Amino acid sequence: MKERPLTITALGWLLIVAGMAGMAFHASGIRQENVLHGDTIWIFTLELIPILAGIFVLRGRNWARWLALAWMAFHVGISLLHSWQELVVHLILLALIGFILFRPKAGAYFRRSEMALSRP
C-alpha cells in the first residue's frame, strides 16, 4: 500500500485532537452530581465520534471518512441555532473536510486500504 497522503494524516490527527479538546472543555463544566446526567453522556458520546473517526481515518477505513463528514455536518446543523458566523465557520470546515477526504488521491488511499483488508 502506498503511503497515506499528508493531508489525511493531518486531518486524522486534528480530528483526534478536536475530540480530546472538546472532552476536556466539557469536562471542566461538569459537577460531581451531574456526571451520569443524560446531557453529559450525550456530549461525551459526540466528542468521542471525532476521536474514533480520526483513528480510523488514519487506518484507511472508508466508513471513517463518512463518519467525520457526518460529525461536521451535525455541527453545521447545530450552528443553525446559533450565530451566522458560527454557521459560516462550520460550513467552511465541512467543505474543507469533504475536499480532503473525498479528493481522488484520498479516495485511492481508502480504496487500497479496504482492498488490503478484504484479501485473505
CB atoms within 10 A of CB 120: 2
pTM for this predicted structure: 0.84
pLDDT for the residue 61:
94
Most distant CA atoms of the chain, gap in Å: 51
In a domain, residue 73? The reply is yes
pLDDT for the residue 33:
52
Dihedral (Cα; 98, 104, 108, 114), 10-degree rounding: 30
Across 18-24, average pLDDT: 92
C-alpha cell belonging to residue 19? 475530540
pLDDT for 53-98, tens place per residue?
A: 999 999 999 999 999 999 999 999 999 999 999 999 999 999 999 9
In a domain, residue 1? The reply is no
Q: Closest Cα partner for 98 from 11, 3, 21, 10?
A: 11
pLDDT for the residue 1:
46
Q: Is 76 in contact with 87 (CB distance < 8 Å)?
A: yes
Is residue 35 pLDDT above 60, yes or no?
no
Amino acid at 88: V
pLDDT for the residue 34:
57
pLDDT for the residue 29:
66
pLDDT for the residue 119:
66
Q: How far apart are alpha carbons 22 and 27 in whole angstroms?
A: 8
What is the residue range of 91's domain?
6-118
Strand stretches in 1-74, DSSP E: none
Q: How far apart are alpha carbons 31 and 116 in whole angstroms?
A: 46
Domains: count for the chain: 1
